Amino acid sequence: MQSPELVTVGPKELGFQGLDNWGLGARSWPAGSGRPVLLVHGLAANARLWDEVAGHLSAAGHPVLAVDLRGHGSSAAVPDTDTDDPDAPAKDPTHTAASDLAAVCDEQGWAAPVVAGHAWGGNVALQLAADRPALVHGLALVDGGWLHLGDQWPNLDDAWGVLAPPQFDGITAELLWSSLRAGHPGWSDDAVSAVLGNLQERDDGTVTPWLERDRHRGILGSMLRHKPRALYALVRCPVLLLAAVGPSTPPRKREQLAKAVAALRNAEVVEFPGGDHDLHAQQPERVAELIAGLT
């Protein structure tokens, strides 16, 4: 498959004082005359996890862009909230990320791309489609975007107690890769290596997340506040909800899926029995085929 170009996207007005020409790091497959596709990773993840999906889409003739959101992967740790400034209007990481992606599409000259988002990236993609309904041609929500964390946890402390990321103190990249390889036997080596893109390697060989821990908590708080069901009526485009399901899938997840399909104008659920949460890493060819079907 074609290797991506590593680029920086986003107009200058995305920048902050003291950060001239700041933009989002991205992986680009620019060739092709088909409808463009924008790929959005999840919380604490990175754009590399979309590489195999993007390769299939590119081979089918679609220009593809997979973006690292602020503080993730190759993108700078530029603030996505103004809560530290009492005089500034409140901003929210999910809304900020959606605004960033809208600006990227405008800069690329993409009038009607298909947008796919995984997990929190699904929330971001849904927010983009609600904010700019004339912009998004089709929407793929990959095991996220319809989940309502606020239904499950009453406050951030309770959610953090369950969903806080692991500590990586003393863990080497080599050891982590071996552990991930053993834990994901159905994934390609490239997909396993892409997970390591969530982390930076120190001089001593140990790893630490690119996304700072406090910022991770802040985005989780944004997810608790985010209400996808309030956005469904604003979305005009066709929507695919790609859901990993299995015997242990909680009834709450199926109920939220059913409510999303009922409230969205043109939506369909595609189930992946026994699928991993990272469906795009586990089954990239099928995910790419479904995304391409929205074009």
What is the CATH classification number for the domain harbouring 48?
3.40.50.1820
Task: Evaluate if residue 185 carries a pLDDT over 50.
Answer: yes
Inside any domain, residue 168: no
The pLDDT of residue 22 is 72
pLDDT, one tens digit per residue, over 118-138 is 999 999 999 999 999 999 999
Number of domains in the chain: 1
Task: Evaluate if residue 90 carries a pLDDT over 80.
Answer: no
pLDDT, one tens digit per residue, over 205-264 is 899 999 999 999 999 999 999 999 999 999 999 999 999 999 999 999 999 999 999 999
Report the length, in residues, of the chain. Answer: 295
Rounded to 5 degrees, what angle do the CA atoms 77, 199, 166 make? 105
Instruction: For residues 271-284, give the mean pLDDT.
Output: 97
Inside any domain, residue 38: yes
109 phi and psi angles, rounded to 5 deg: 75, 25
| Band of pLDDT at residue 12, cut at 50, 70 and 90 | low
Inside any domain, residue 127: yes
The pLDDT of residue 99 is 92
CB 197 within 8 A of CB 49: yes
Task: Evaluate if residue 14 carries a pLDDT over 70.
Answer: no
Inside any domain, residue 206: no
Inside any domain, residue 18: yes
What is the distance between the alpha carbons of residues 147 and 281, in angstroms, rounded to a whole number? 20
Inside any domain, residue 30: yes
The pLDDT of residue 240 is 98
Inside any domain, residue 97: yes
Domain that holds residue 268: 5-161+212-292
Inside any domain, residue 178: no
